């Protein structure tokens, strides 16, 4: 399921049984604050820099 995200950012929700994980990938040229909520499981920093990604526990 794809989610609303800033331009250049691909964000989607993965669901497997009771586990929900949000993945955000920045393909653009502008850094973005992740702002998706959830506990970070894997992130390249506090800001989603160009070419970076992050994975969150979406509960």
Model confidence over 2-44: pLDDT tens digits? 999 999 999 999 999 999 999 999 999 999 987 777 888 998 8
Per-residue pLDDT at 49: 94
The alpha carbon of residue 58 and the mean position of all alpha carbons in its chain are separated, in whole angstroms, by 10
The token duo for 53 is: 């990604």
Per-residue pLDDT at 20: 95
Calpha distance 22→41 (Å, rounded) = 10
Phi, psi of 56, deg, nearest 5: -125, 145
The token duo for 54 is: 């992050």
Per-residue pLDDT at 21: 96
- pTM of the prediction? 0.87
Annotated domain spans of the chain:
9-57
Phi, psi of 51, deg, nearest 5: 80, 5
- Residue given tokens 């990604």 in the structure block: 53
Calpha distance 29→13 (Å, rounded) = 23
């Amino acid at each position: 399921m794809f989610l609303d995200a800033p331009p250049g950012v691909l964000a989607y929700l993965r669901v497997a049984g009771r586990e929900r994980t949000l993945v955000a990938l920045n393909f653009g040229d502008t850094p973005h604050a992740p702002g998706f909520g959830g506990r970070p499981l894997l992130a390249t920093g506090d800001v989603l820099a160009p070419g970076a990604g992050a994975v969150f526990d979406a509960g």
